[in-house]
Amino acid sequence: MNFSLTVLGTGGSAGLPQIGGADGAGDWGACDPAEPRNRRSRASVVIGAPEGNLLVDTGPEIRLQLTSQRIARIDAVLFTHAHADHIAGFDEIRILNRLLGAPMPAYADAACWAELHQRFDYAFKPWSGNGFFRPVLAERVVAAGQIVPILGLPVQLLDQDHGFMRSLGLRIGNLAYCTDVVRFAPEAFAALRGVQTLVIDCFTRGGPHPTHAHLAQVLEWVEALRPARTILTHMGPDMDFRSLCDALPAGIEPGYDGMVIEGV
């Protein structure tokens, strides 16, 4: 399978720096402001598939993320879940519609679609076919456990426990993208066996978190799955890039905005 993965954003729900800080220029937590890879927008990726670009989630920085990565066209969108940091850029889909010249094929599970309909009701009114003045989606309802063909790739959807809700993980060939997960259902964890590149939620170096994996948990998963390469994402303010690079075992690294993984 030949595809690429561009990591658009690796931040937690508030991004980094968070709004605030002594001088108002941002609160970096334990992260070094001088390290550019500590500047993290909200979690999202683009999968460069054989038949186009699949955007996973539309966070609030999606316009800045796509322009800074020079991605000029999206051919399909998949939503992992309906938290604001994953959907707040939903309106930008109208620009992606204009570039595509068609309703945007979009994949989400039933719970996520219900939330999207409620929050963005205007986007789901009948479309006249006359221009894209609001997002227009070609809705595809999918479910965890399915393998869905998207843009020429078999995308296996994984059931993830995200604390107070479920989220979808993705496995494509030997790569998995699992953001916003605190625990895996046994079937989902079994479906991760054999993964060689694991992009995984790791919000904190501290103790357990109610909705996100913490570092000790990620290390346990890696011990069980033994992927060749593990890349951390959805990182919170205690996840300083350099000190993580120094502390993590071989094969595990913090991701950063703009990271590209080719030829997966």
Evaluated on CA atoms 168, 60, 214, 211, the torsion sign reads negative
| Structure token digits, residue 97 | 């519609």
Nearer to Zn ion, 182 or 198 (CB): 182
Nearer to Zn ion, 48 or 237 (CB): 237
Quick check: 83 binds Zn ion (CB under 5 A)? yes
Nearer to Zn ion, 83 or 214 (CB): 83
* CA nearest neighbour of 1 among 138, 156, 172: 172
Nearer to Zn ion, 37 or 83 (CB): 83
Q: Which residue is nearest to Zn ion (CB)?
A: 83
Among 57, 75, 92, 180, binds Zn ion (CB under 5 A): 180
Tell me the window of 89-97, 126-134, 174-182, 240-248 that interacts with Zn ion (CB under 5 A): 174-182
The CA distance from 250 to 229, in Å, is 9
Q: How far is the CB of 9 from Zn ion (least distance, A)?
A: 13
Side chain identity at residue 208, one-letter code: P
Quick check: 201 binds Zn ion (CB under 5 A)? no
| Structure token digits, residue 235 | 């990182």
The strand pair at 229-233 and 252-254 is best described as: parallel
Asked if 241 contacts 31 with a C-beta cutoff of 8 angstroms, the reply is yes
The CA distance from 252 to 17, in Å, is 23
Quick check: 37 binds Zn ion (CB under 5 A)? no
- Within 100-129, the residues that bind Zn ion by CB under 5 A are none
Residues that bind Zn ion (CB under 5 A): 83, 180
